[in-house]
Structure 1
């Protein structure tokens, strides 16, 4: 069984990151008899300047992409259709907000140390896009962390400790300095970069080729 390590740089309020992850999971399932994949998640905040309590998602998107709110609704409809094909039920509406995700990323990094990143990431995606939960709210985050098996008291310390916020900011700077500007970004075996929500077919092809190349390199 060939092994591959994938570092995923993403934000949990990014629908393309959710789609990219779902496609990657399908590709991994397709290759499960050939390749053993280890996933690690790293932070990328779409907008670290969002105020506490969030802001209107439609207004944020319209400002970010310099377009109309109606054009943003049409984009959301397109994303919803793509998600449906993957079993993701995006539930966009005009009242939906986007939130600062720094604290969420702090918990995701803590979850890595506790071998609990996957369930943490999946719950954050699900609870934001399905239930529109405010991911900048301490109680919401602590409830999610507890549900996936993390210690609530320790997680509260992680949320409130400035050094954890600083660690996330430092990791983000490192990825930016490495040239990561589009998410999701998948770095395979610390060498091969795949940017954006690639199709399942492309992922299968690339993972298979990289695994084969890595195997030949070790053989020499």
Structure 2
């Protein structure tokens, strides 16, 4: 069976990344008899300068996009409906905050070595968008990491060692240099780029077309 690798550049506080991932998962499920698809997650911090404890989400969005509170609320309603269509419960309210995600990304990169990135990413998305947990909090992050089978003591080291923060920063720089400026960005077999929360239908069509092409794997 043809194997396809998809690198996903994303942030866990990006609703479009969550929706895009859910749509991709539906496409993968519908193609499971035709293709084997492996996902690898890479960091892209939307808010690297936010201080510990976060910032009220609505306030952040108004400032970041130079728009009105009403426009932000309407966008959140739209996102909520799109999420509902793919089984995501977005639960936006005025108490929700935007958080720094550097430490979350440190654990996600560590999880790659242990083949549990996907389980951790799903917990992070759900924790932030549905449960409103502060995902810059080390105890929250460690709890999720141990739930997916990672060793707590090793994860504590990953969170505290500056070198792991540097790993995330270096990966982000590499993607920026490669031209990735918006997320989600999904790179198929290191050759084909799909930006944004593409529909399930687009994914199925693209993956079938790519699977039909001769595959030349690149050396890492």
Q: TM-score range by the shorter chain?
A: over 0.9
**Distance across 2 between alignment mates of 1:203 and 1:76:** 24
Q: Whole-Å Cα distance in 2 between the matches of residues 177 and 69 of structure 1?
A: 34
Report the number of matched residues. Answer: 217
Query: For residue 40 of structure 1, what is the aligned residue in structure 2?
Result: 40
1:95, CA displacement in angstroms? Answer: 1.0
Answer with 61-70 or 75-84: which moved more. 61-70
Q: Secondary structure at the match of 1:111?
A: helix
Per-residue CA deviation, residues 149-183 of structure 1 (Å, 9 max, x unaligned), is 11000000000000000000000000001000110
Question: What is the match of residue 92 of structure 2?
Answer: 92
Quick check: 1:164 aligned with 2:164?
yes
Q: What is the CA distance between 1:63 and its match in structure 2?
A: 1.2
Q: Does 1:64 align with 2:64?
A: yes
Which residue pairs with 1:2 in the alignment? 2
The answer to whether 1:22 aligns with 2:22 is yes
Counterpart position of 1:77? 77
What residue ranges of structure 2 are gaps of 5+ in the alignment?
none
TM-score (norm 2): 0.97
**Cα separation, 1, equivalents of 2:206 and 2:13:** 26
What SS class does the counterpart of residue 93 from structure 1 fall into?
coil
- Shift in Å, 1:214: 3.1
Counterpart in the other structure of 2:113: 113
Which residue matches 2:211?
A: 211
Name the structure 1 match of 2:104: 104
The root-mean-square deviation of aligned C-alpha atoms, in Å, is 1.0
- Any idea what the Cα deviations from partners look like across 1:30-54, whole Å, max 9, x if unmatched? 1111111010000000010011100
Q: Which runs of 5+ in 1 are unaligned?
A: none
| TM-score computed with the length of structure 1 as normaliser | 0.97
CA distance in 1, matches of 2:84, 2:119: 21
**How do residues 120-199 of structure 1 correspond to structure 2 at under 5 angstroms?**
120-199=120-199
Structure 1 Cα separation of the partners of residues 61 and 206 of structure 2:
31
**Runs of 4+ with >4 A deviation:** none
Structure 1 CA distance, aligned partners of 2:76 and 2:47?
A: 19
After TM superposition, give the deviation of residue 70 of structure 1 in Å. 1.1
CA distance in 2, matches of 1:142, 1:17: 22
